[in-house]
Amino acid sequence: MKTRIFSASVLLFIIIAATTESGSSVVSAQSKLRWSNPQPIRGIADDSDTPILIADQNRTVHAFNSQWTGGFGRSDLAVFYAQWTLERGWTIPGDILLSPYKRQARVLDAFLDRKGMFHVIFFGGVGEDAQIYYSRAPVEGASRASAWSPPKMIGIHAETLSSGAIRGDADGNLFVVYSGSVEGNGLYWIHSTDWGNTWSEPQAVFLTNSAILWVFAIQVAMDSKGQSHTVWTVVNKAGNGEAIYYARLESNQKRWTFPVAIETIKVCLYEADWAFVIPYKGELFLVYNCGAPARRWIRRSTDDGRTWTDPAIPFPSLVGETGHPVLLVDSNNVLYTIFANRTSDERASGIWFSVWNGDRWNEPELIVLGRQSSQPDPSRPQAIISQGNILLLTWRQDPGLTPNGVWFTYTTLDAPELQVTALPILTMVTATPFAPTVSQPLVPSRTASPRLVVTPQSNGGMSSSV
């Protein structure tokens, strides 16, 4: 008999689903969670990707996305900003940043520091003729274009796949990783030790050693020790992931570990892609796509990424490639995952939710139900937990078919609200010259990175050799 994901409870969810005008449904689960009726986010263009979400400690979620200022092909591609609160809902997104080059800015990531300053990076340019730009603004002025510092070019030769991330610590150290081609296609990093006033030159962390392999889907997580864990995909010209790599930036912000291949296309057959890493209770949890058809696989590490467990497939009846999963931790230190997939029998395509119970992932619950289709709809979820107990979820509706915008829903978790902390009030961005400032390289300089031979270890992890 063919295995199906639908338990009796999930079938009941579908029966009682409240259908929206888009053809999607919110599912009222028989768990403690009750999700709001899904709605489109007003002002976000139909062809826009899901926004980058940042939660402060003042009950507010901040959102950054890129869209055309006056319609596709007729104006500038700009970075837009909006915010959401449980009490007031969404503000109308407004454009805040334009690229100094080619008038096209694709936002890559954002970071909010302890001083109440936003740091944003975007891909500025077209195709392979692009750079990485940086800007910042105080959080209370983030909706005003005039509050943002003039975009500064900090990373040269950005790759057309336009992937990158920015993170920082409490001492003013910031770093950016991005897909570039300074010395060849690869992962590059730039750092600042003074809250973004000055930046180093880009240095290679990893090179693909190929003109037809590129770095994509970069994702970074910082742990309580100040270490930064970075995962990325190497993709081929067909757009399929050849391998997933991992490397760690030590807490001194000066040294990267040797990049190690976590999974390859030889194992996954179709592709290895869409990795997401999060530190949790002294471990690293890594979820990614692998297999034919693609499913979510998981590995764990108890030694800061030096070795990894054998892979497990927690949701075997859910398939498809629909972007990164999202992993989140609430104020009770409970770990959740949210991801978009369809059932293997294609009876449902939707967004799913599961809780880590300390030993395994619970049976996934369906949050949003899409049309019965082999296409990934809905897809590319982004989610954030605000104040420790409000979970906000966004996703793309009908991507690649008839674009139907970015939608959202939210729920209250069974967790206490964290103490509200007003953000520092900053009246202006410190003016600094935006000329390149070069520091000494903090990674070994090389023209080509060694190829890795990955060997399984008896403990279920991996070792690498050149």
Q: Give the pLDDT confidence score for residue 82 in this predicted structure.
A: 98
Cβ partners under 8 Å of residue 229, min gap 6 = 220, 221, 222, 223, 246, 248, 277, 279, 284, 304, 305
Residue 432 included in any domain: yes
Q: Give the pLDDT confidence score for residue 422 in this predicted structure.
A: 85
DSSP tally for the chain: helices H, then strands E = 2, 33
DSSP 418-430: PPP-PPPP--SPP
| DSSP reduced 3-state for 407 | strand
Q: What are phi and psi of 218, to 5 degrees?
A: -75, 135
Q: Give the pLDDT confidence score for residue 328 in this predicted structure.
A: 98
The strand pair at 453-456 and 349-355 is best described as unpaired
pLDDT digits (tens, 9 = 90+) for 450-465: 333 333 333 333 333 3
Q: Give the pLDDT confidence score for residue 278 in this predicted structure.
A: 98
Residue 167 included in any domain: yes
Q: Give the pLDDT confidence score for residue 377 in this predicted structure.
A: 77
pTM reported for the whole predicted model? 0.86
Confidence of residue 16 (pLDDT cuts 50, 70, 90): very low
Q: What is the CATH number of the domain that holds 178?
A: 2.120.10.10
Residue 1 included in any domain: no
Question: Structurally, how many domains does the chain consist of?
Answer: 1
Confidence of residue 253 (pLDDT cuts 50, 70, 90): confident
Cβ partners under 8 Å of residue 137, min gap 6 = 96, 117, 118, 120, 144, 147, 148, 149, 429
Domain hosting residue 402, numbered range: 8-465
Residue 70 included in any domain: yes
Residue 160 included in any domain: yes
Cβ partners under 8 Å of residue 326, min gap 6 = 276, 337, 338, 339, 381, 382, 383
First to last CA, the chain: 46
Q: Give the pLDDT confidence score for residue 399 in this predicted structure.
A: 62
pLDDT mean across residues, the chain: 85
Residue 2 included in any domain: no
Q: Give the pLDDT confidence score for residue 376 in this predicted structure.
A: 56
pLDDT mean over 57-82 = 89
3-state DSSP helix/strand/coil % of the chain, to nearest 5:
5, 45, 50
pLDDT digits (tens, 9 = 90+) for 42-68: 999 988 999 999 999 999 999 999 999
Residue 401 included in any domain: yes
% of the chain at pLDDT higher than 90: 72
Taking the CB of residue 127, how many other CB atoms lie within 10 A of it? 10
DSSP-derived secondary structure letter, 140: G
Q: What are phi and psi of 262, to 5 degrees?
A: -85, -40
Residue type, 356: W
Q: Give the pLDDT confidence score for residue 63 in this predicted structure.
A: 98
43 alpha-carbon distance from chain centroid: 22
Taking the CB of residue 392, how many other CB atoms lie within 10 A of it? 21
The residue ranges of DSSP E strands in 193-240, in sequence order, are 203-207, 214-222, 228-235
Helix locations, 342-458, DSSP H: none
**Residue bearing tokens 């997401």:** 276
Tokens of 134: 């940086």
pLDDT digits (tens, 9 = 90+) for 282-341: 999 999 999 999 999 999 999 999 999 999 999 999 998 889 999 999 999 999 999 999
How many whole angstroms separate alpha carbon 90 and alpha carbon 43?
A: 10
| DSSP reduced 3-state for 151 | coil
Lowest mean pLDDT of 99-113, 196-210, 219-233, 398-412, name the range. 398-412
In the β-sheet with 260-264, what is the strand arrangement from edge to edge? Answer: 214-222, 228-235, 241-249, 260-264
pLDDT digits (tens, 9 = 90+) for 370-401: 866 555 578 899 999 999 999 999 999 876 66
Residue 281 included in any domain: yes
Give the HSE-up count for residue 135: Cα atoms under 13 Å, Cβ half-sphere.
25
pLDDT mean over 93-102 = 95
* The Cα angle at residue 180 between residues 179 and 182, in degrees rounded to 5: 155
Confidence of residue 427 (pLDDT cuts 50, 70, 90): low
